[in-house]
C-alpha cells in the first residue's frame, strides 16, 4: 500500500506526459523518483489517498513527524498560502472533490489514473491561483501521461 496525495499522482502522470520522468533523488530527499518508478513498474500498486505526508513526503528533510515545514514560491500565485502544507491540503481537497474520492480510500493506481482521465481534464478550479498558461500546459501533460500510463 502506497500513501498517495492525489496531486502527487497527477504530478507523476504529468511528468510522464511531459516526458520528464524524475529519475534522481531531489535535494530535499523526498521520494518522487522512487514512487514514480514504482507506479510506472506496477500500475496495480494500491494507493491509499492521503492529504498529509504521503510516500513521496516521508523521507523529505522538511517532513517532521508527518508535518511538512516548507514554504512555496508564491511569486506567481500571490493569493496562495506560503506554507506548502496548507497549499497541499487545499489542492488535495480540490483533487478529492473533483475525483469523487476521500482521504484513506484505497484503489489501485490504474483505477486512480482512470478517474483522473475521466474527471480531471480541466484543472482551472483545482489550480485557480496559477497562471492560466501554466495550468493549460499541466493539463495537457497530465492527459498525455495518464493515457500512456493506462496503455501499460
**DSSP letter string over the chain?**
-EEE-HHHHHHHHHHHHTT----S--TT---HHHHHHHHHH-TT-EEEE-SSS-TTTTT-TTEETTEE--B---TT-TTS-SBHHHHHHHHHHHHHHHHT--TT-EEEHHHHHHHHHHH-S--TTTSTTS-HHHHHHHHHHHHHHHHHHHT-
Q: What is residue 43's predicted lDDT score, i.e. its pLDDT?
A: 87
Q: What is residue 23's predicted lDDT score, i.e. its pLDDT?
A: 65
Q: What is residue 25's predicted lDDT score, i.e. its pLDDT?
A: 79
Phi, psi for residue 109 in degrees, rounded to 5 = -60, -35
Q: What is residue 19's predicted lDDT score, i.e. its pLDDT?
A: 62
Alpha-carbon span 132 to 134, nearest angstrom: 5
Q: What is residue 20's predicted lDDT score, i.e. its pLDDT?
A: 61
**Residues 13 and 140: beta-carbon distance below 8 Å:** no
Q: In sequence order, which residues have a C-beta less than 8 Å from that of residue 141 and are 6 or more positions away?
A: 14, 15, 17, 18
* Local confidence pLDDT in tens for the 152 residues of the chain: 999 999 999 999 988 876 666 667 789 999 998 999 899 889 899 999 999 999 999 999 999 988 888 998 878 778 788 898 999 999 999 999 999 999 999 999 999 999 999 999 899 999 988 889 999 999 999 999 999 999 87
Look at residues 112, 110, 5 and name the one whose alpha carbon lies nearest to residue 57: 5
pTM: 0.90
- Using the CB atoms, write b or e for 86-124: b if 16+ within 10 Å: ebbbbbbebbbebbebeeeeebebbebbbbbbeebeebe
Q: What is residue 81's predicted lDDT score, i.e. its pLDDT?
A: 86
Amino acid at each position: 500500500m502506497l500513501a498517495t496525495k492525489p496531486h502527487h499522482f497527477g504530478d507523476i502522470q504529468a511528468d510522464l506526459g511531459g516526458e520528464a520522468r524524475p529519475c534522481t533523488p531531489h535535494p530535499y530527499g523526498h521520494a518522487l523518483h522512487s514512487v514514480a518508478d514504482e507506479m510506472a513498474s506496477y500500475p496495480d500498486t494500491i494507493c491509499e489517498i492521503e492529504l498529509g505526508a504521503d510516500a513521496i513526503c516521508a523521507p523529505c528533510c522538511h517532513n517532521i513527524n508527518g508535518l511538512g515545514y516548507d514554504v512555496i514560491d508564491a511569486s506567481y500565485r500571490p493569493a496562495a498560502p506560503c506554507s506548502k502544507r496548507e497549499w497541499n491540503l487545499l489542492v488535495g481537497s480540490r483533487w478529492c472533490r473533483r475525483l469523487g474520492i476521500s482521504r484513506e480510500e484505497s484503489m489501485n493506481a490504474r483505477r486512480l489514473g482512470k478517474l483522473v482521465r475521466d474527471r480531471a481534464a480541466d484543472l482551472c478550479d483545482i489550480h485557480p491561483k496559477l497562471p492560466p498558461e501554466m495550468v493549460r500546459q499541466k493539463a495537457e501533460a497530465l492527459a498525455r501521461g495518464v493515457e500512456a500510463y493506462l496503455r501499460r
